[in-house]
Amino acid sequence: MAKETTPEELVNVDYEAPKKDWTETPVEFREGMYCYGSRPVYLQEVGFPNPREWSPADEDWKLPENWKEIVLTAMEERLSKYRSFRVFMDICVRCGACADKCHFYIGSGDPKNMPVLRAELIRSIYRKYFTIGGKLLGKRAGARELTEDVIKEWWYYFYQCTECRRCSVFCPYGIDQAEITMIGREILNLLGLQTDWIGGPVANCYKKGNHLGLEPHAITSNIEYLLDDIEEITGITIEPSFNRKGAEILFVTPSGDLFGDPGTYTAMGYLMLLHELGLDYTWSTYASEGGNFGFFTSMEMAKRLNYKIYAEAKRLGVKWILGGECGHMWRVLNQYMDTWNGPADFMEEPVSPITGTKFENAKSTKMVHICEFTADLIKHNKLKFDPSRNDHLNVTFHDSCNTARGMGIFDEPRFIIKNVCNNFFEMSSDATREKTFCCGSGSGLNAGENIELRMRGGMPRGHAVKRVQEKYGVNMLANICAIDRAVLPPLMDYWAPGVDVCGTHELLANALVMKGEIKRTQDLRLEDLPGVEDDDDDDDNNEEGGE
Amino acid sequence: MKIYSLLAEKKPDVLKKWFALILETYPKETSSFLKSQNSQTRNPVTQAIYEGIEGIFNGLVHEDDEDKLNIYLDNVIRVRAIQDFSPSEAVSFIFSLKEVIRKELDKEICDPKMFKELLGLETRIDSLANSAFEIYMKCREKIYEIKANEMRNWTYRALHKTGFYKEVRTEE
Ligand code: SF4
Ligand code: SF4
């Protein structure tokens, strides 16, 4: 529970500036800054090592007896397996260009959140055990002994990095701290040092196909519930298919879109768009997760979880896969899927059945991003919109780190938004596109217990939104990521109250003029569209008035 | 009052010194980072703090009402409320303004009339500190509220997961 501040504390004002040398001090675990340790059952489910009850706040982390050997062997293996890792350990010239580019550093002011120092946490061990200089000169060469305290420090700070890659954009050598963090976490994982918030979704996804552990009936019944709402809003009955063999396209999206607002409105958007096109597609209740929390534990686990998408595509015999709005799902697909589980030769090169456009970028993975698909439809005039339905919204767009820096999708979502909304405003160029600021909750950090960390990490993003809120009256923050849809609302609540959050396909479906629809008086959130008279209501009113 | 017009003239110096004292509350690597950058988005912390203290200063010398001053206090405190500060550290920057002003008006306050005016101003700064504590507490409460809301949403999701929510909805 919250620590109550006593009046004594409040009046006890210290006129002296606190003098702390942050780099010298051992790590202090502050509540609100870290996630709970994973419960053993989650690790057991997927065969991860050292399952046990533990808490990061404990003195004794119950590490395996030979933990040091495990860590050093794991480092050695990775140094020879990944050339990038060795290069990143060797070439940093400490120029400092990356230092102030991390949102966690900007928000917290904690020097160990400078990317260069975060890397130094592991680099100092590398020097000590894997370089001659470090072995001989020790501390003078920036080397240090591997102790349990170092492991604790790794854990604290590698889970204060969202693997967002912003720092790498500014590094003259392209050193990618995200990759270093991934390896750091992978090594910690070998000691059973997993967070509960990541461990749970991984185990769920492994067993049931999605992070929330939803069984097939829960998935279908939730989609049906969204369909009821769509029918109320548009008068149109939609009947999507599930697990249908022989469908042309398999649609995969993060399960977060099916539960929890505002993700659900984005899911309604997909349902409406795909229905309007009459697309021959199917949902799967087995490959029911686009996201991949395995990616935050180890490459091997990510690969195992990712495989189910291809396995399901094969089982259903689809020609290609369409993927919803998600962040790390696309990073995984774009950067790793093909190497791990591809090429998916049993499918065909994706071609839009509506426009005939070939998605050559998806030639090997056979998986197309819905924003590319939709932007292509708009470009070919295949959709009809009434953007005035979004006129009460002043929209800005948050580039998710994963789709922006992980795959370079910048223009498609903007193109869609500009076609379906009349009021679009960009945030500063220091905070968008490849320089975008992270939401502060990515890479599995979107737990509840570390909310302070999330508010700090999201400060630069929140601040950039507040600027456009003040300047242009922005009241809607659009994005193309399910984690964003879950974590940006609380972030806005703190940094820019009054700004709401939505997926891009929610905006699209609000404006989409569908064949046979009734007059729209409500948006996808079942809220009245401003300035639109409800004909029936008028009648009702008249009737009531006449009584 | 005379003291206000005097201070208005010294605004750039007062703000510079006040800002420097605030930066000292950060670790040394960080304070130099906060000092060095100009771009607003690149360095949102500096911007929030600087704009905040400038607004507070203007509000004090123009004798603005509390509501207006609170907006600027909020600017600074919202940031410090989520950083590694104790409650007193988070709001102590208000008191450093007193220190700066006393030094800045070193000579002038020898005049008893001016000294009296200074005491009046310091009382206003003290009452600002009360508002600052309140804003700090509100920021902290907001964080706990956000946390509680998330818990509630998860419970709601758990109900969805079992299909229970759907059943209730259908029965309604
Ligand atoms: S990858 Fe992102 S979170 Fe991690 S150190 Fe770099 S900027 Fe910070
Ligand atoms: S920018 Fe690159 S080379 Fe410079 S300190 Fe950062 S990681 Fe090292």
Name the CATH code of domain B2-145 (choices 3.40.50, 1.10.1740, 1.10.490, 1.10.3210): 1.10.490
Mean pLDDT for A403-427 is 96
Could you tell me whether strands A367-369 and A395-397 are parallel, antiparallel, or unpaired per DSSP bridges?
A: unpaired
Indicate if the pLDDT at residue A285 is higher than 90: yes
Cβ neighbors of A179 (< 8 A, separation 6 or more) are: A82, A84, A85, A88
Average pLDDT taken over every residue of chain A: 92
Give tens-digit pLDDT for B10-44: 999 999 999 999 988 888 778 777 776 555 556 88
Indicate whether A540 pLDDT > 60.
Answer: no
Confidence bin at B66 (pLDDT 50/70/90) = confident
Contacting residues of A for B151, CB less than 8 Å apart: 448
pLDDT beyond 50 at A367: yes
pLDDT of residue A420: 98
A114 lines ligand 2 (CB under 6 A): no
Ligand 1, atom 3, lies closest to the CA of A161
B13 CA: distance to closest CA in chain A (Å): 20
Mutate to test the pocket of ligand 2, among A85, A94, A124, A167 (most ligand atoms within 8 A of CB): A94
User: What's residue A6's pLDDT?
Assistant: 38
CA–CA separation, A163 vs A179, rounded Å?
7
Listed range (A43-47, A202-206, A332-336, B117-121) with the worst mean pLDDT: A332-336
A490 vs B: CB within 8 A: yes
Write down the mean pLDDT value for chain B.
86
What percentage of chain A carries pLDDT values higher than 70?
A: 93
Answer whether A495's CB lies under 8 Å from A532's CB: no
How far apart CA A465 and CA A502 sit, in angstroms, is 14
CA dist A446 and A159 (Å) reads 11
Q: CA-to-CA distance for A374 and A323, rounded, in angstroms? A: 11
User: What pLDDT does A543 receive?
Assistant: 38
The CB of A115 under 6 Å from ligand 1? The reply is yes
Distance A463 CA to ligand 1 centre (A): 18
Strands A476-479, A500-503: pairing kind: parallel
The answer to whether residue B161 scores a pLDDT higher than 90 is: no
How many angstroms separate the CA atoms of B54 and B40, rounded?
15
pLDDT digits (tens, 9 = 90+) for A52-101: 999 999 999 999 999 999 999 999 999 999 999 999 999 999 998 998 89
Helix (H, G, I), strand (E, B) or coil at A321: strand
d(CA B171, CA A318): 38
Partner-chain residue, chosen from B91, B95, B139, that has the shortest CB–CB distance to A15: B95
Residue A281's pLDDT band, with cuts at 50, 70 and 90, is very high
Torsion of CA B73, A100, A468, A420, to 10 degrees: -150
Going by C-alpha positions, the residue among A386, A398, A231 that lies closest to residue A325 is: A398
- Per-residue pLDDT tens for A420-444? 999 999 999 999 999 999 999 999 9
Residue A531: its pLDDT value, please?
Answer: 86
Q: Which of A2-11, B17-26, B124-133 has the lowest mean pLDDT?
A: A2-11
The pLDDT, as a whole number, for residue A8 is: 36
| Binding site membership of A119 for ligand 1 (Cβ less than 6 Å) | no
> What one-letter code names the amino acid at A115?
P
Q: How confident is the model at residue B162 (pLDDT cuts 50, 70, 90)?
A: low
pLDDT of residue A27: 85
The answer to whether the CB of A331 is under 6 A from ligand 1 is no
One DSSP character per residue, B87-127 reads HHHHHTHHHHHHHHHHHHTTTGGGSHHHHHHHHHHHHHHHH
Q: What is the length of chain B?
A: 172
**Residue B144 identity (one-letter amino acid):** Y
The residue among B145, B147, B157, B172 with the most chain A CBs within 10 A of its CB, best to mutate, is B147
Domains in chain A and their CATH numbers? 22-194 (1.10.1060), 210-379 (1.20.1050), 387-511 (3.40.50)
Q: Which of A520, A282, A480, A298 is nearest to A399 (CA)?
A: A480
pLDDT band at A544 (very low <50, low <70, confident <90, very high): very low
Predicted pLDDT at A547: 30
Residues 125-154 of chain B whose Cβ lies under 8 A from any Cβ of chain A? 129, 133, 137, 139-140, 142-144, 146-147, 149-151, 153-154
Measured distance between the N- and C-terminal CA atoms of chain A, rounded to whole angstroms: 55
**Residue owning the nearest CA to atom 4 of ligand 2:** A95
| CB < 8 Å to A24, chain B | none
pLDDT score recorded for residue B163: 52
What are the pLDDT digits (tens) for A188-246?
999 999 999 999 999 999 999 999 888 999 999 999 999 999 999 999 999 999 999 99
Instruction: Please determine, for residue A41, whether its predicted confidence score (pLDDT) is greater than 60.
Output: yes
Distance of alpha carbon B172 from alpha carbon B170, whole angstroms: 5
- Ligand 2 pocket, residue A136 CB under 6 Å: no
Does B96 contact A15 at a Cβ distance shorter than 8 Å? yes
A109 or A232, higher pLDDT: A232
CB-nearest partner of A10 from B26, B42, B133: B133
**What is d(CA A507, CA A522) in angstroms, rounded to the nearest whole number?**
13
What is residue B158's predicted lDDT score, i.e. its pLDDT? Answer: 61
* pLDDT-derived band at A5, boundaries 50, 70, 90: very low
Interface of B with A in 24-63 (CB under 8 A): 24-30, 33-34, 37, 39-45, 47-48
Q: Which residue has the higher pLDDT, A470 or A18?
A: A470
Q: Could you tell me if the CB of A87 is within 6 A of ligand 2?
A: no
Q: Is A118 in the pocket of ligand 1 (CB under 6 A)?
A: yes
- Check if B159 contacts A (Cβ < 8 Å): no
Q: Is the CB of A161 under 6 A from ligand 1?
A: yes
The pLDDT, as a whole number, for residue B64 is 84
Pocket test for ligand 2, best of A84, A88, A91, A175 (most atoms within 8 A of CB): A175
Residues of B in contact with A455 (CB under 8 A): 82, 143, 146
Residues 6+ apart with CB under 8 A from A34: A56, A155, A156, A159, A160, A449, A450, A453
Question: Per-residue b/e over A175-188, b at no fewer than 16 CB within 10 Å?
Answer: bbbbbbbbbbbbbb
Quick one: three-class SS letters along A361-372?
A: HHCCCCEEEHHH
Which of B44, B146, B162 is facing A106, going by the closest CB pair?
B44
Beta strands in A171-274 (DSSP E): 249-252
Which pLDDT belongs to residue B1? 73
pLDDT at A36 over 60: yes
Check if the beta carbon of residue A71 is closer than 8 Å to that of residue A190.
Answer: yes
Average pLDDT of the residues in A488-512: 98
